Amino acid sequence: MNAALSVLIVEDDPHVLLGCQQALGLEDIPSEGVASAELALERVGADFQGVVVSDIRLPGMDGLQLLARLKAIDANLPVVLITGHGDVPLAVNAMRQGAYDFMEKPFSPERLVEVVRRALEQRALALEVLSLRRRLAGREALDQRLIGGSAAMRSLRETISNVADTPANVLIVGETGTGKELVARCLHDFSRRASQPFVALNCAALPEPMFESEIFGHEAHVFGGANAQRIGKVEHADGGTLFLDEVESMSDPLQVKMLRVLQERTLERLGSNQPVDVDIRVLAATKADLVHGNYEGYLRSDFYYRLNVVTLVIAPLRERREDIPELFDHFVRQAALRFDREVPPATPATLSALAAHSWPGNVRELRNVAERHALGLPLFKHGHAQASRLNFAEAVEAFERGLLEDALNANGGNLTQASQVLGMAKTTLFDKVKKYRLTEAHREPSTK
């Protein structure tokens, strides 16, 4: 049984409710009790992490009506009904309408635990299947948003699909222009928080005196010009995702205050002593090299480790040149549609110039170049292409790496088949795969 799942007990008799909770508690099964169906509906939404045990006889809406409402919310949610002696025919009919099981009063604690355990096991399996389906659907959608067939991009998409629908904090590391906010939005959009706010805050864009008010909010008249209460970014993100961009620019005192929010999930507005509970997932992005623990001088260690539950590293464009043609075509088509132009072809000379460029501005720069191409302008501004052009050996290596990557992708990573397609000795291909560090993504199938 998944330890994260719990039981919602709907029972207006406080003695029966207490007995049920005590029986489950002795078996380390978490539970919550409410006295009406109306209160239960406030706590249950789609993907509810548990099961419902409800009496049929309730004040207001009864257990059968509650069953119908819950099944409309989530058809796979197990609902166990508690019946009096005369309600057994009703309960049998309710099972035809989707109830998981029923228990007739008086029932033993052992009977309650047995039924609940089975219901929780079924719920855990259903939620696992649902999560898997979402991940599979998410992978297809990610292919359209995070474009590129390189090993680095495939690995990035795989990790995003695995962690998006979890509450884990994520640190996104990448150079300027690599698409850190796009990755953050994918993590949000492919999670169960997708319908809730995505709140982005650039930590470097706000002066420090304004930062605390912006992120935590303030009460009216706490300082000059504060004529009304203000809800801060963290509170606005309640139920959703808070994205802290350029987090390395956050000052030490602010990191301490933000750390408390991460640990306790509460905040206090400026001028208030009243804590406000918040349910947020925190994503942070940095262009600093923090991957190998090089956080000193940027972040406090406790703040860094709280953020860095999962690390996503976005490779710079110069390290995944095989993605450039596909990205360029995508951006050119977008630009042509926006500018109401025909899509201009990418000539061999154009592709050669793209392959030779060093891309200091990464994907953001490539988008700009694609827009220039769609408008019929030179790819690079005067003199810029020469200043950032690779030398001959670097250009040849970039072309060769892309060629090898394409051949390996087309042959499912099989070195023998790829070497035959390339007309290259297998030992030579193996050496080049090691040289370009493609061994993690492409391994020879076992012959055992």
pLDDT mean over 72-93: 85
Element of type H or E holding 32: strand 31-34
Residue 446, Cβ neighbours under 10 Å: how many? Answer: 5
Return mean pLDDT, the chain: 85
Q: How far apart are CA 139 and CA 123, in angstroms?
A: 24
Long-range contacts of 441-445 (CB under 8 A, 24+ apart): 441/151, 441/154, 441/155, 441/408, 441/413, 442/151, 442/408, 442/413, 442/415, 443/413, 444/414, 444/415, 444/416, 445/413, 445/414
Provide the 3-class DSSP secondary structure of residue 411.
Answer: coil
Radius of gyration (Cα) for the chain, nearest Å? 28
Residues in the chain: 448
pLDDT of residue 444: 46
- Residue whose tokens read 């025909």: 342
Q: Lowest mean pLDDT: which of 61-65, 267-271, 370-374?
A: 267-271
Task: Fill in the DSSP letter of residue 232.
Answer: -
pLDDT mean over 315-333: 92
Residue 308, Cβ neighbours under 10 Å: how many? Answer: 18
pLDDT of residue 301: 86
% of the chain exceeding 70 in pLDDT: 88
Q: Is the peptide bond before 106 cis (omega within 30 degrees of 0)?
A: yes
* Per-residue pLDDT tens digits for 83-94: 886 777 887 888
pLDDT of residue 385: 45
List the domains of the chain with CATH numbers: 6-129 (3.40.50.2300), 146-315 (3.40.50.300), 316-390 (1.10.8.60), 392-448 (1.10.10.60)
Q: Which residues of 352-362 are buried (b: 16+ CB within 10 A; e: fewer)?
A: ebbbbbbbebb
445, 435 Cβ separation under 8 angstroms: no
Q: Is the pTM of this model over 0.85?
A: no
- Under the banding of pLDDT at 50, 70 and 90, the label for residue 445 is very low
pLDDT of residue 386: 40
Say yes or no to pLDDT of 212 above 60: yes
